[in-house]
Chain A
Amino acid sequence: MNGRLNKRKIAFIFIFFLPLFLGLISLLIGSYPIGIKDVIKTLLSIFSSNNEIPDVYRDIILKIRLPRIILALFVGASLSVSGASLQALFRNPLVNEYILGISSGAAFGASLSIVFFGKNFPVEISSFIFAFIAFFSVLLISKGTGSDIISLLLTGVIVSTFFTALLTLVEFLASPYSLQSLFFWLMGSLSVAGWREVGYSLPFMLAGILVLSLYGWRMNILSLGDEEARALGLNVKLEKIIIMLTTTLVTSSAISSAGIIGWIGLIIPHISRMIFGVENSVVIPASALIGASFLLIADDFSRGIASFEIPVGIFTSLIGIPFFIYFLKRSGKIWS
């Protein structure tokens, strides 16, 4: 067991520094070639008044690549943490933000803002409001309908479909100009990422990731079911509401700034459990770190593999699924 524990500690240290390392590497990737020395010099110029750095380097590194990398890291972390928390809370390995309607609600909210409200109403707020409405509709409709988890999943699918239909209606009514930006956003892309997006959504994502990571131990108790959680002294209703609101907040913040990026919320928590075991106070921060690195790698492929940008969602599936299968084959029993 000690050997396994040490291996896990080493693995955790590795994934802890991985996002930072990948972040630096990702600064080198892009259609305009900039060498590592210039990248470092440009980065250091933030803290000094180095006038030797060409403006084009500053623009590319500091205004385009850096905010995009930061956003990719936090969106990946947010979606993974949210998936891990929901799976523990609802005691089901299939649960994620998509199946519970959160993503469709957030997507509809964001589309309303993009198409009709413009800059008058921040996309993040509209996204959060409709994500919240969708998620709590799922919970209310599925409540008291007998088989809890099955009705929850079915209701999630139905509510998701409903909000997807509304989204299609928005697309139908959109002007050609706004339709173009909506389509781009819907495909899931970090290409529009700038400091504005980082500034609006990063505080919410960071706060949510921290809260959910700190909640890990109590999620272990909640994963035992309501009766045992109550017997162990938890205020089950209150703690569930806190977790559900926080997951809605991080998911909608991620979706409003990067569009719909699939798979991460489902597979990253499983990969994290396969490596680190099931204890949620480890699984949740580990999911954040793995998810952050994973989305950044996928985004690097999306912008670096061709002369044009390929939607990042394609790579989250193409890279994620083989990884998932590899860990699935190697891991022991995780779920009952």
Chain B
Amino acid sequence: MNIWIKDLSFSYPNFTLKVKDLSFEGEKITSIVGPNGAGKSTLLKCIGMINPVSKGSIFINGKDISEIKGTKRAQLIAYVPQEQTSIFNFSIIDFVLLGRTPYLNFLSKPSHKDIERAEEALRFVGIKNWKGRGILEISSGERRLVLIARTIVQEPEIFLLDEPTSFLDPKHEFEIMELIKNLSKKMGKTVILTLHNLELAVKYSDNLIFMKEGEIIGSGKTSDILNEDILEKVYDLKMKIVEIDGKKIILR
């Protein structure tokens, strides 16, 4: 599964995202990093066609994703927002079941098999005792896990995760990143995420995409692309990279 973005342009008032030519391989973890307002989430939403792309193309294995519509696209790509946006206090199992929608016939409801899948996904992400609890009654860390469970039952090939670790304590941060690693390494899925935390991005990502002011500054394998120059260029801040036990650590 390869992803290729060509001549992409997407605008909000006072902001334009421009990607001339960006490609990266699938079945890996790719993190989009950069300062606030760089356009990380916008790019992620363009890849998922959540932002309707009017200019340029995104190809997945050579196929233009604008040609893949509705439920077919939802069976291929799943999106995890920064924070769940439900206004209703859905039971956790009902919330996860919403992920089965791309497989349901129009106007039908999930079956017993779908419920089994949802329970399995909850076990996979490590949520215990979900019965009788509502989505608005759990901690934000647990909510992220439930959101990921919802995308697992969506059975996509590509997972898009927008800032999956923001506002989480180190324990939940670790749990989420290990889960993301499992999605890629154990399930062989393509994972693309935006991250603020550079250390996490370096530790877990196979590929990095650096962004600033709506443009791609650099991209490539983490081991190849990560250097002090690109960090300074992207963040306007001098940072030092040291290697301890073969692992790159960023010092500020």
Q: Do A and B share a complex?
A: yes
In whole angstroms, what is the CA distance A215 to B104 when docked? 13
Tell me whether A310 is interfacial, beta carbon within 8 Å. no
Residue B57 is within 8 A (CB to CB) of chain A in the complex: no
Query: Hey, what's the 0/1 contact readout for B58-79 against A, CB within 8 Å counting as 1?
Result: 0000000000001111110111
Across the interface, do B81 and A227 meet the contact criterion of CB distance under 8 Å? yes
Check B107 against A218 for contact (C-beta < 8 Å). Answer: yes
Q: Is the CB of A234 within 8 A of B70?
A: yes
A217-B101, A217-B104, A333-B136 known; A231 and B70 CB under 8 Å? no
A-B contact count (CB 8 A): 89
Partner of A218, one of B88, B94, B101, B132: B101
Interface size on B, residues (CB 8 A): 38
Choose the segment among A134-142, A155-163, A199-207, A276-284 that binds chain B (4+ C-beta atoms closer than 8 Å).
A276-284
Assess whether A217 is in contact with B70, with CB atoms less than 8 Å apart.
no
Given contacts A218-B101, A278-B90, contact A233 B70 (CB under 8 A): yes
- The one of A88, A224, A232, A233 in contact with B85, judged by C-beta atoms closer than 8 angstroms, is A224
Interface presence of A225 (CB below 8 A): yes
B223 within 8 A of A: no
Contacts of A218 in B (CB 8 A): 101, 107
Q: Could you tell me if B49 and A230 are in contact, using CB atoms closer than 8 angstroms?
A: yes
The reply to whether B45 and A336 form a contact with Cβ atoms under 8 Å apart is no
Supposing A215-B107, A218-B107 touch, asked if A334 and B101 sit within 8 A by C-beta, the answer is: no
In this complex, the member of B78, B87, B90 whose beta carbon has the largest number of chain A beta carbons within 10 angstroms is B87
The answer to whether A332 and B134 touch across the interface, beta carbons within 8 angstroms, is yes
Given A217-B104, A217-B108, A223-B87, answer yes or no on A232-B132 (Cβ-Cβ < 8 Å): no
B198 at the interface (CB under 8 A from A): no
C-beta contact mask, B108-120 vs A, less than 8 Å → 1, else 0?
Answer: 1110000000000
In the bound complex, how far is the Cα of B134 from the Cα of A223, in angstroms? 16
Q: Separation in Å of the B164 CB from the closest CB of chain A?
A: 15
B35 interface residue per 8 A CB criterion: no
Instruction: Write the nearest CB–CB distance from B135 to chain A, whole angstroms.
Output: 9
* Complex Cα–Cα for A73 and B129 (A): 41
Cβ of A1: which chain B residues have Cβ within 8 Å of it?
A: 131-132
Is A221 engaged at the interface, CB distance under 8 Å to the other chain?
yes
* C-alpha spacing A231/B87, complex, angstroms: 17
Contact of B89 among A91, A227, A230, A278 (CB under 8 A): A278
Task: Report the separation of the CA atoms of residues A218 and B105 in the bound assembly, to the nearest whole angstrom.
Answer: 11
Interface SS, A side:
loop
Closest to A93 in B: B87
Q: What does the 1/0 interface line of A83-99 toward B look like (CB < 8 Å)?
A: 00000100110000000
Query: Is B86's CB within 8 Å of the partner chain A?
Result: yes
Roughly how many angstroms separate A225 CA and B101 CA in the complex, as a whole number? 15
Residue of A nearest to B106 (CB): A218
CB-defined contacts of A228 to chain B, threshold 8 Å: 79, 81, 85
User: Are A335's CB and B89's CB within 8 A?
Assistant: yes
Quick check: is B50 within 8 A (CB to CB) of the other chain? yes
Residue of A nearest to B156 (CB): A231
Write out the residue numbers on chain A whose beta carbons fall within 8 Å of the beta carbon of B102.
232-233
Q: How far is the CA of A302 from the CA of B91 in the complex (A)?
A: 39
Report whether A4 and B132 are in contact in the complex, using a CB–CB cutoff of 8 Å: yes
Interface residue A164 (Cβ < 8 Å from any Cβ of B):
no
B154 lies within 8 A of chain A by Cβ: yes
Q: Which residue of A lies closest to B130 (CB)?
A: A1
- A181 / chain B contacts, CB cutoff of 8 Å: none
| B residues at A contact (CB < 8 Å) | 45, 48-50, 70-75, 77-79, 81, 84-91, 94, 98-99, 101-102, 104, 107-110, 131-132, 134, 136-137, 154
Pull 23 A–B residue pairs with CB atoms less than 8 Å apart, ordered by A: A4-B132, A92-B87, A214-B107, A217-B104, A217-B108, A220-B94, A223-B87, A224-B84, A224-B86, A231-B50, A231-B77, A232-B74, A232-B101, A234-B70, A235-B70, A273-B88, A277-B91, A277-B94, A278-B90, A279-B91, A332-B134, A333-B134, A336-B136
The 8 closest A-B pairs by CB, nearest first: A233-B74, A233-B71, A231-B79, A278-B88, A233-B102, A1-B132, A1-B131, A214-B107
